[in-house]
Amino acid sequence: MNSQNKPEQHTRSYNIEAFGRLLDTLDRLRVECPWDRKQTFQSLRTNTIEEVYELCDAIFAEDMPNIKKELGDVLLHVIFYAKIASEQGAFDIGDVADALNAKLIFRHPHVFGSVEADDAHQVEVNWEQIKLKEKGGNRFVLAGVPASLPALIKAYRIQEKAANVGFDWPDAEGPWQKLREEISEFEQEASRGDKEAMEREFGDVLFSLVNTARRLGINPENALQYTNTKFQRRFHYIEEELNRQGKKIGESSLEEMDALWNEAKSKE
């Protein structure tokens, strides 16, 4: 890799003792706080999911103060799980850090070994190949995709992982052709009115659309999040304007709302 493209290495400026203080605080909470004392892996699991989504919201908004806050909440869950595991004699936070460090070194032979990787895509390809060779790792490429991932993200990760081991269209035209084919099949089922068949074909359309986006370098989750946010912003404008006029949105005509939608759009 060209050294001119590498970012400069920076000396750590943070106080590593801060992490020790955090561990000490959790140790005390685990003993003295009734709520913290009763937590288990299962009781924390849904809260962890919520915290990760809140971090994602802060990242999407590019809100640095909130990113810092939400990273702290996620970190709390990491050390909390490790604390529970240490009480059970399974592992502790040091074991977690050591295992992660070993994995990072093993999966980056282009940095810590002699393997060549000139770009990020080659690193991803190497990563998937290395994961299959890891002791105790996944025996199959797609086995590492979490079953509970939201469907849109899951489709993207499935396709990405398959592509990294060579199962991909040879050019960008392939996904476009497949997308057109799937839309046509969905239209045919829609005309027949078979709801179960429509659902299957619509799933194929979405999967093909995700694949097309991937080949164009677009993350579909991010793209849809931007559109969701845009829709919410414009719809909120409609509600505010109708309220200002003394009207209720449920009693307003589509023409009124559509005019306000276009007004909101023109202000962006």
- Nearest 5°: CA angle at 75, between 158 and 50? 60
**Residue 165 — pLDDT band, cuts 50, 70, 90?**
confident
| Torsion over CA: 243, 245, 246, 250 (sign) | negative
Does the pLDDT of residue 135 top 80, yes or no?
A: no
CB neighbour class for 34 (10 Å; exposed up to 12, middle 13-18, buried from 19): exposed
- pLDDT reported for residue 2: 46
With a CB cutoff of 8 Å and minimum separation 6, the contacts of 171 are none
Residue type, 242: L
Which superfamily does 17-92 belong to? MazG-like (1.10.287.1080)
Q: For position 6, what pLDDT does the model report? A: 56
Question: Do the domains spanning 17-92 and 141-220 agree at the CATH topology level?
Answer: yes
Which has the higher per-residue pLDDT, 2 or 233? 233
Please state which of the ranges 52-61, 108-117, 172-181, 206-215 shows the lowest mean pLDDT.
Answer: 108-117
Confidence of residue 1 (pLDDT cuts 50, 70, 90): very low
Which residues are within 8 A (CB) of 134 and not within 5 positions of it... i.e. 6 or more apart? 103, 106
Higher pLDDT, 110 or 34: 34
Q: What is the pLDDT, as a whole number, of residue 138?
A: 63
Domain boundary assignment for the chain: 17-92, 141-220, 222-266
Over residues 21-33, mean pLDDT:
96
**Closest C-alpha to 263, from 27, 240, 220, 29:** 240
**DSSP code at position 250:** G
Given the candidates 3.40.50.920, 1.10.287.1080, 3.40.50.720, 1.10.275.30, the CATH classification of the domain at 141-220 is 1.10.287.1080
Q: What residues contact 77, with CB distance under 8 A and at least 6 apart?
A: 44, 47, 48, 51
Question: With bands split at pLDDT 50, 70 and 90, how would you rate the model's confidence at 192?
Answer: very high
Render pLDDT for 91-103 as a digit per residue (tens, 0 to 9): 999 999 999 999 8
Look over the chain and give the mean of its residue pLDDT values, rounded to a whole number.
89
Tokens of 11: 């000396």
Rg (CA), the chain: 25
Rounding to the nearest 10 degrees, give the CA dihedral for residues 31, 34, 36, 38. Answer: 100
For residue 137, what pLDDT is reported? 61
94-122 mean pLDDT: 86
Q: Are 212 and 175 in contact (CB under 8 A)?
A: yes
Task: Compare 172 and 207 and report the one with higher pLDDT.
Answer: 207
